[in-house]
Chains A and B, each alone.
Chain A
Amino acid sequence: MALDRWIALIILGIALAYGYGAFFTMDQLLPPFMQRNPIWPSTFPKVLAVLAIVTSLVIVLGLEKSDGEAKTPDIDYRRLGDYHIGKALSLLGLMALYAVMLRPAGFLLSTIGFLSIGAIILGERKLWILLPVAAVATGIVWYLVEGVLGIFLRPLPFFMG
C-alpha cells in the first residue's frame, strides 16, 4: 500500500475517534435547556466526522484514481535514504531541544547555540565566522523582540536572573 493510502488510513482512525467523540460523548454533558436548540455543539462535528470518514475511505479503498500522469514529486519518499535524512532529523531534534531549553537556558544562549549547531549539522566548519554571525544575529533579534515589539524574552540563564 502506498504512503498516501496509509496516511488516509491514519486520518480515518482520527476521524472515527472524532466521530465517536461527537456522536457518543458530547451530548451527555448538554444542559437540558440547550437540548431544545436545533443546533448542538456536536452538530457540526458530526457532519464533519461523517464527511471525513467517507472521504478517507475513498482514498483508502482507491476509489478515485489519479489521472495516471506520473508527476515527479519533489522528494521521492521511497528513496528517503538517498537524501540527507539524518541532517533533517537532527535539525528537528535541535528544534525540540531549543523548545525545551528556551526558558531555562535563556534566549541568548539557546539561540546562539541553535544557530551555530544548526549550521554545524549542515556542514559548516568555519567556526570563527559562524559564532560571531550567530551572536550578532541573536543580539539583533533579541533587541527587536524585546525593545521594538515589547515582548519579554528572558535573555540569560535562570540562575543569572
Chain B
Amino acid sequence: MLEGLLIGLSTAFSVTNLAMVIGGCLIGTFIGMLPGLGPMSIIAIMIPVAITLGDPSAALILLAGVYYGAIFGGSTSSILLNAPGVAGTVASSFDGYPMARAGMAGKALTIAAISSFLGGTIGALLLMVFAPMLSTVALLFHSAEYFALMVVGLSAIAAFAGTGNVAKAVLMTLLGLIMATVGEGALFNMPRFTMGLMDLQSGFSFITLAMAMFALPEALFLVLNPARVTQGGEGGGKITGLRISRDEARKIAPVIGRQSVQGFFIGVLPGAGATIASFLGYAVERNIATEAEQKEFGKGSIKGLAAPETANNAACTGSFVPLLTLGIPGSGTTAILLGALIALNVTPGPRLMLDSPEIFWAVIASMFIGNLVLLILNLPLIPYIAKVLSIPRNYLIPFILFFTLMGSYIGQNNATELLILVGFGICATILRFADYPLAPLLIGFILGRMLEDNFSRSMQLYDGAGFILERPMTLGLLVIAALLVVIPSYRARRARARKTGVADGD
C-alpha cells in the first residue's frame, strides 16, 4: 500500500497535476457557490476540458478537485446566504446560517473548512484501506456477477432517488438503458435503433446528455423562478473572526471522528451519497447530543454544522470506492466521472489497480492534496471568492447556457449536437416539472453498454439465461435488486393502509 501511495504521490506531485488539483478546487469552489449549480452540472461542464487533457490521471485529478471544491463552495453559500448550491450541503445551512446571522460567519466557515478537510482526509485513508480489499474480492467476480451487481446498483439508485415514487425512478433508469442501446455497439457490429440517421450511428453523446439533464434545467429553473433562490447582498460583505477556540475544537472533535466514518460508509452504498450522509449525520449527532446541546441545534450549534460538513465530504470520498474497484458508479457525480474515464480509454474496475496503479493512487494522493488545498488556499480566500455571489443573474445565466453549449460542441465538433442538447434539455425540464428524477436516467445510460456486455458474455458462456440459476451469488444479487425496488412501494402501501385505517376509526 505504501508503495502504491508513493507512486500516487509522485504522479500527483508533478507540476501539471498539482496545477490540476489547485485549479480544480478553485473552479469547483467558484461555481459550486453559485446557487443552483450542483457538482454534477459543474463536472459535466468541465468534462470536455478534462478529456482534451488526454492524460487520464490528470483528468481524474482535475475532476475530483472540482468535485470537492463544489461541495465546499456549496457549504459557503449555505452558510452565508442560506442558499445551498448543492443538495449535499442543505443540512449545513441549518446551523451554519444562524451562525452567520449572529455575526459568526468567519467562525462558521472555519468550522466548515476544518470539518470538510478532516472528513475528506479520513475518508481518503479509509478508501486507501478498503478499495484494495474490495478489488481483490471483485477480481473473483465473473461477468454474471458483474451483471447482477450492476442491476443491484441501478435498483438501489432508483430506490433512493425516487423516495415514494420508485416506479418513476425505475422508468427513468430503463429509459437511460434504452438510450444506451442506440447506435453501433462493440458487441454486435451492427447499428441498432438509429432509424437510418447518420447522426445516431455512434449513439447519443454522454456529455450532451449530462449537460441536458443537469446544467440546462438548473439554468432554466433559475430563469423561470428567480425567487427560488434568494440572492442576498450580504455575501460580499465582511467576513471576520476566522479563528475558533480550543474549547470549540474539543467539542467538535468527536463529532468529526464519528461522522467521517459514518459518512464514508454511507457514501460507499450505491445511491446514497453525500446528501443522505449529511442529513443522517445531522440527525444522529442531534440525537446523541446532551439535552442542553440539543436545544442549540438549528440555532447555530457548532456541532450541528460540523456533522453534515464532515459527513458529506467523507461520503464524496466513499463514493469513489465502488467507482474505482467495481467500475460501478453509486451516484450521478461518479457516473459522470465514469463516463469521462471511459472516454479516456480507461475502464475502472478491479483491474484498474493492477493495470494502471498510477491512476488509482494518483487519485487518492490528489484527495489528500485537494483537501489540503481547500483548507489552506480557499479558506483565506473565501471573503474574496464570496464576491462571486454578487454577480448579477442577468450575466450569469447566459454564461451558464453558453458553457453547456460549448461543452457539447467541443465534445462532438458538430452543430447538430447543439440542437440535440436543446431538445433533450427541454425534455429534461418537463421531466423535472413532473418530479421524475434525472440522475437514474444518466446512470442507466452510462452503465447500459457495460450491463449489456456482461449480460451477453454470461449468456454466451452458459448458452442461455441459465447462469442466473446456476450461480448462487448472481441469483442472490438479483433477488436483492428486486427487493430494493419492491419493498419501498410495498411499505408505502402498507403505511397508507394503516393511515386510512386510522381515519376510519375517527
Known: A55-B171, A74-B432. A122 touches B492 (CB 8 A): no
Contact A151 B52 (CB under 8 A): yes
User: Does A158 lie at the interface of the complex (its beta carbon under 8 Å from any beta carbon of B)?
Assistant: no
Contact B410 A149 (CB under 8 A): yes
Contact B164 A45 (CB under 8 A): no
Contact A48 B174 (CB under 8 A): yes
User: Does B68 lie at the interface of the complex (its beta carbon under 8 Å from any beta carbon of A)?
Assistant: no
Contact A7 B434 (CB under 8 A): yes
Chain A residues positioned under 8 Å from B394 (CB to CB) = 119, 122-124
Chain A residues positioned under 8 Å from B464 (CB to CB) = 38
Taking CB as reference atom, which chain B residue is nearest A45?
A: B181
Taking CB as reference atom, which chain B residue is nearest A99?
A: B418
Q: How many A-B residue pairs have CB under 8 A?
A: 190
A107 to B164: give the CA distance in the assembly, Å: 46
A77 to B224: give the CA distance in the assembly, Å: 11
Query: Interface residue count for A (Cβ, 8 Å)?
Result: 72
What mask results when residues 7 to 47 of chain A are scored 1 for a CB within 8 Å of chain B, else 0?
11001001100100100001001000000011101111100
Chain A residues positioned under 8 Å from B380 (CB to CB) = none
Query: Interface residue count for B (Cβ, 8 Å)?
Result: 71
Nearest Cβ on chain A to B429's Cβ, whole angstroms: 8
Contact A58 B167 (CB under 8 A): yes
User: Does B409 lie at the interface of the complex (its beta carbon under 8 Å from any beta carbon of A)?
Assistant: yes
User: Does A73 lie at the interface of the complex (its beta carbon under 8 Å from any beta carbon of B)?
Assistant: yes
Binds A, one of B70-78, B275-283, B314-322, B419-427: B419-427
Q: Is the interface of B mostly helix, strand, loop or mixed?
A: helix
Contact A39 B459 (CB under 8 A): yes
Known: A41-B192, A74-B221, A133-B395. A52 touches B174 (CB 8 A): yes
Contact A4 B178 (CB under 8 A): no
A122 to B398: give the CA distance in the assembly, Å: 9
Within 8 A of A (CB), among B128-164: 164
User: Does B397 lie at the interface of the complex (its beta carbon under 8 Å from any beta carbon of A)?
Assistant: yes
Contact B399 A44 (CB under 8 A): no
Chain A residues positioned under 8 Å from B178 (CB to CB) = 14-15, 18, 45, 48-49, 52
A73 to B152: give the CA distance in the assembly, Å: 29
Within 8 A of A (CB), among B377-418: 392-395, 397-399, 401-402, 405-406, 409-410, 413, 415-416, 418
Contact A44 B164 (CB under 8 A): no
User: Does A136 lie at the interface of the complex (its beta carbon under 8 Å from any beta carbon of B)?
Assistant: no
A38 to B467: give the CA distance in the assembly, Å: 12
Contact B434 A77 (CB under 8 A): yes
Q: Rank and list the top 7 A-B pairs by shortest CB-CB distance, nearest first.
A: A118-B398, A99-B418, A4-B434, A124-B394, A77-B433, A83-B224, A41-B188
7 contacts between A and B (CB under 8 A): A3-B433, A63-B167, A64-B165, A102-B415, A114-B402, A137-B399, A151-B410
Query: Knowing that A4-B434, A88-B220, A92-B425 are A-B contacts, what are 19 other residue pairs whose CB atoms are under 8 Å apart, sorted by A's residue number?
Result: A4-B168, A8-B168, A15-B178, A18-B193, A26-B192, A39-B455, A41-B190, A42-B192, A55-B171, A71-B435, A75-B432, A75-B433, A77-B433, A83-B225, A88-B223, A100-B415, A119-B398, A123-B394, A150-B52
